[in-house]
Each structure stands twice: as C-alpha cells, then as structure tokens.
Structure 1
C-alpha cells in the first residue's frame, strides 16, 4: 500500500474520531469506561485545527494521525489493523524531522507506548499523578535529547 502524510482538514475529522476510538479500545485497557465516554465526547467537539495535525492515509483511507503543539506530540493514534507495520515510526520520523518534535506525554499504564517512544530516543524526565484533566492516570513526561 502507498501511504501519504497529509495536513489535517476538517474533512478528516470523522475518520480521525473513528481511528482514535478503535486505537484506544485496542491499547488503553486501563481506561475506565466512563472516562472513555467523557474523552470521546470532548474530542467530538475538539477543533483539531488548533494543533498541527497530520493524517496518514493509504488508498484514500485514514489509517493514523499525529498532532503537535509546537514541538510536543499531543496525540498519535493508528488504526489497530495497521499497528506493527512501522507506520507509527513513519509518522514520528516525519514529526521529528519536519516539525522538530521532541516531547511527548504518555500514560504510565501504557507500557507499549512508553517502549515505542524509548526506541525513538525519548527518555522520561518527569511524572504527574494525574492527567491534564485531573483524572487518576499518571503521566510520564518524555523528551528526546
């Protein structure tokens, strides 16, 4: 399949929400059901153009996306059917090379994501007890040095 990275436009929003949901259900087994619903509702009203969001498409279908604020990765999600194929690394290399991405926050319970970012040279430099919304999910702050 031929993959392309495209700048976000509002036409991608429904596909982004679908990929986000499938990805979170496959990878965030620590997330409480009511928190999942709350985050999903928040994202439905979220203005993705407020971040630098880039969409990964293959055969005109969105398979993943990455969003940054300045040089911090705020979101990276892949459709689970496309995980393990190097596409997360592809998006990360794009963000690091073209956008200077060098920071990311990771749920402490998400060992797979932490390992993924460590393979790309990120190191933990801080930790919070709760996520940005005050929920009981510790966050690891990572930076690429």
Structure 2
C-alpha cells in the first residue's frame, strides 16, 4: 500500500469513494444531508492535508488531516476489514502525529475501530460541525 497527495484532478474520484463508503457505513444519514454533504465535500479538500491511498494503482481510500486531527478517512467498501484502515491510521500516527479524531456516534464500527487503535472519548457534541443532528464523539490518542 502506498499513498500520495491528492490533486484537484482526484476530487471527483474521492467523492465517488466517499459516496460508496457512506452508503455502506452511515445508514443513519438522512438523504437530504447526504446530498448536501456530497456537494460540499470537495470544498473541504483544499484546506486539509489530503492523501489518496492505493494498492498498486487502485484507490482503496483517502484521508484528510488538519494538523494532528484526522478530519476524514474513507475506504472503498470492499476494502473495509482487510487491515488497510489500521495501516493508514498507524502511518498517520507516525508521520503526522495523529492525535485527534471526531466520529459520528451512530457509526459504531468506526467508534470501535478507533478505540482498538488506542483512541479514547474525551468529549461529545450533540450536533455535527454543520449543525446537523448527528452527535459527534471527540476522540484522542491514549498516550500512556
């Protein structure tokens, strides 16, 4: 598995990965919110350190960091559960000093995944950053 920085030419591919991943993992998301986020998503990319993750030339997912915080990590649905997420997070911890993650409370599989990776809940918000009614769990890396 390797990675490279995202370019503007990748944006449409990333939105397609996001769409497939969210349909698989975010069954709690209302259709109108899904559509709104899908349109807004590319506007966030230039503000984050975006990486596309590949096996050979095949995209398996992407990540977006803001300093030491993981703002987004999405994998192709067929690549979930194969250890790629663990490798990506481990790489981001080592190379980017990843320390903070927000996760939707309703996304139990992501919550469990990050807890297994050593992240612990330190706060909770009733709404997401856009004011939508999706509680967010704020996680930080356990530094023991």
**Same fold flag (TM > 0.5):** yes
Unaligned runs of 5+ in 2: none
Cα pair distance change 1:112/1:47, threshold 3 Å: closer
Q: Is residue 111 of structure 2 the alignment partner of residue 114 of structure 1?
A: yes
Among 7, 10, 18, the alignment partner of 1:9 is: 7
| Deviation of 1:61 (Å) | 2.2
Calculate the TM-score normalised by the size of structure 1.
0.94
| Deviation of 1:8 (Å) | 1.4
Q: 2:141 & 2:95 partners in 1: Cα distance?
A: 15
| Deviation of 1:47 (Å) | 4.6
Q: 1:137 & 1:48 partners in 2: Cα distance?
A: 22
Q: Is residue 142 of structure 2 the alignment partner of residue 131 of structure 1?
A: no
Q: Specify the alignment match of 1:93 in structure 2.
A: 90
Indicate conservation of the 8 Å contact 1:66/1:75, yes or no.
yes
Q: Is residue 36 of structure 2 the alignment partner of residue 38 of structure 1?
A: yes
Q: 2:56 & 2:17 partners in 1: Cα distance?
A: 15
| Deviation of 1:116 (Å) | 0.3
List 4+ stretches of structure 1 deviating above 4 A.
Answer: none
Residues 59-102 of structure 1: CA distance to partner in whole angstroms, max 9, x if unpaired? 31211011110000000000001111101111101110000001
Q: Specify the alignment match of 1:21 in structure 2.
A: 19
Aligned residues: 142
| Deviation of 1:53 (Å) | 1.0
Q: 1:113 & 1:15 partners in 2: Cα distance?
A: 22
Unaligned runs of 5+ in 1: none
Q: 1:34 & 1:131 partners in 2: Cα distance?
A: 15
| Deviation of 1:37 (Å) | 0.5
Q: 1:11 & 1:99 partners in 2: Cα distance?
A: 24
Indicate conservation of the 8 Å contact 1:8/1:49, yes or no.
no
After TM superposition, the structure 1 = structure 2 runs for residues 42-81 of structure 1, keeping only pairs within 5 Å, are 42-44=40-42, 46-81=43-78
State the Cα RMSD in Å.
1.0
| Deviation of 1:131 (Å) | 0.3
